[in-house]
Structure 1
Amino acid sequence: MKYLIIFFCSLLSFSTVAAPKADLWAYWNSSNEKSTQVIDHSAWQGVLNHNLTVKGQNHLFGYANITAQDKQALKGYITTLTKQDPLQFNKKEQFAYWVNLYNALTVELILDNYPTKSITKLGGVFSFGPWDKDITTINGKKLTLNDIEHRILRPIWKDKRIHYAVNCASLGCPNLASQAFTSSNTEALLKQAESEFVNSTKGVNIQNGMVQLSSIFEWYAVDFDGESGVIKYLTQFHPELKQIKKKPSYDYNWALNEG
């Protein structure tokens, strides 16, 4: 019986690691393109300024040393965002809204459960991580982190660089941006995040004719037009990939991005 339970749990863990498909939640695919309203993300920027440090190729968050003032600022920022109706803003403001909200909610989630070695430990006994748990309510609708990433951001904007913008509080993840996203800096931040990740060893590691890629490129290969599309895309940054015939391996470090 013990081995059956272990086997069942291993199957459950495997299935939960499988990446969700982009599945549009049509309600959120609406905007007011005539709107010139600008969302204030300065509180989030302040939290980042005080707690995010750069060490090597990683951006590390000081969960252990965050002040009560910054915790309150974070909660206040999230509350302010969730009380707004994102559908009343234009698409550029919406994109920044959703990315910043996702990242702020993730940081809050870690802080509320700190200390923890990995975000994957927060999903309960039969879950791999907290991504399917209701985490916020906007316009009277409950949302999970997976809803924001896979039912709003990916299907509406259809930009592969979204994977570099949302952060899962892990060392294997593309870094939490040191700047809050805004409608005016989004393109620059996406380009920067893309460049940093694909040129880091956690994104692409080429050694002795072998290629190890981030598991992101396996989980979300569909967003890069399949495995061959992934290689074609990455060859823009690493021309030497043209000479490597062996299939890549994949890896991901779920350790907390703690500093």
Structure 2
Amino acid sequence: MRATCNFFFIMSFLLLPAIVFAAPKAELWQRWQTNDPQSRTHIDHAVWANFLDQYLVVGTAESTNLVRYAEVKPDDKSALTQYIASLTALPISRLNRAEQKALWVNLYNSLTVLTILEHYPIKSIRKISSGWFSSGPWDLKLIKVEGIELSLNDIEHRILRPIWQDNRVHYAVNCASLGCPNLQAEPFTAANMERLLDKAAQDYINSLRGVNFTEETLQLSSIYDWFLVDFGGSKEALFSHLEQFATPVLASKLKTYRGTISYQYNWDLNEQRSSF
């Protein structure tokens, strides 16, 4: 009996990396499909905009946008908490689709930042555990909307991905890591959604975090490995997507590339450290 228990313990340990790194599938939560096409309600994201203005450091074309977590004042953290509470208190099911999409993206991003602040200082979001065989806070039930508890994974993989089926969502939600697509410098809204999604895709694909030709191989972000199904399910479909947002020079390289592909991702915190 003891030997059997030890065997299963060892096997569980060996299987841990596969469990930790498995990307969630998009599984529609029917409950959140409800919307009101006639709604003219517009959500105010000014608090989130003000937070980004104060604490987001916009990088260059080749660097990640960074957050000055260490410098966030208690009043601004409190305001961020209240902003998230105000979003979760809204009758989301009675909004139109465009307002819903913007709300869910902003809720995901602001909630991620708040989660980092509540565990700061921390080197990586993956240091925040949500239970056994987990690495990261994504399965923690952090909020309650319309009486239902939700996690970050619920928002991304059970609401945003399956409802809108827009692969640019991967460039919109931010996981507080250096390898992630940028946390945008402005909130998403119904009015700016298309422009900001295209910008986010262009920024990432044309950075070394997204697509990087080295002397030996083509190195892509692990996002394109984890969520290949969202980018067409094949190398050909993925390359077509990348070429759509790539610069002419990069698009030309992708179009003719027939070599090896590797994947990489940097989970270090997207933090701007103080210089003093």
TM-score in terms of structure 2 length: 0.89
Tell me the CA shift for residue 54 of structure 1. 1.8
Against the structure 1 CA distance between its residues 114 and 6, is the aligned structure 2 distance closer, same or farther, given a 3 Å change threshold?
A: farther
Is 1:181 the counterpart of 2:188? The answer is yes
CA RMSD of aligned residues (A): 1.7
Residue matched to 1:32 = 36
Aligned to 1:84: 90
Instruction: Give the distance between the partners of 1:244 and 1:67, measured in 2 at CA.
Output: 48
- Bigger mean CA offset, 51-60 vs 6-15: 6-15
- Paired residues of 1:214 and 1:251 also in contact (CA < 8 A): yes
Q: Which residue of 1 aligns with 2:262?
A: 249
Q: For 2:243, which of 226, 235, 238 is the aligned residue? A: 235
CA offsets per residue over residues 13-43 of structure 1, 9 Å max, x none?
3222111111000000011110101001000
**Correspondence list, 1:142-157, <5 A:** 142-157=149-164
1:243 deviates by 2.2
Say yes or no: does 1:134 pair with 2:147: no
SS in 1 for 2:219: strand
Secondary structure (helix, strand or coil) at the match of 1:78 reads helix
Quick one: distance in 2 between partners of 1:173 and 1:42? 24
Consecutive unaligned residues of structure 1, counting only runs of 5 or more, are none
Tell me how far 1:12 sits from its aligned partner. Answer: 1.8
In structure 1, how many angstroms separate the alpha carbons of the residues matched to 2:66 and 2:243? 28
Residue 85 of structure 1 deviates from its aligned partner by 1.3
TM-score (norm: length of structure 1): 0.95
What amino acid does structure 2 have at the position aligned with 1:233? H
Conserved in 2, the CA contact under 8 Å of 1:198 and 1:234?
yes
Answer yes or no: is the 8 Å Cα contact 1:218–1:250 preserved in 2: yes
Provide the rounded CA distance (Å) in 2 between the counterparts of 1:43 and 1:235. Answer: 36
State whether structure 2 residue 26 is matched by structure 1 residue 22: yes
Q: Tell which deviates more after alignment, 110-119 or 233-242.
A: 233-242
> Does structure 2 conserve the Cα–Cα contact (< 8 Å) formed by 1:210 and 1:244?
no
Mapped to 2, the partners of 1:29 and 1:137 lie a distance apart of 17
Partner of 1:66: 72
Residue 225 (structure 2) aligns with: 218
* Count of aligned positions: 259
Worse-matched range after superposition: 240-249 or 16-25: 240-249
Distance 1:224 1:37 in 2: 32
User: How far did 1:125 drift?
Assistant: 5.7
TM-aligned CA deviation for residue 135 of structure 1: 0.9
Q: Distance in 1 between matches of 2:187 and 2:114?
A: 16
Instruction: Confirm or deny: 8 A CA contact 1:136 1:144 kept in the other structure.
Output: yes
Unaligned runs of 5+ in 2: none
Query: Matched residue of 2:159: which SS?
Result: helix
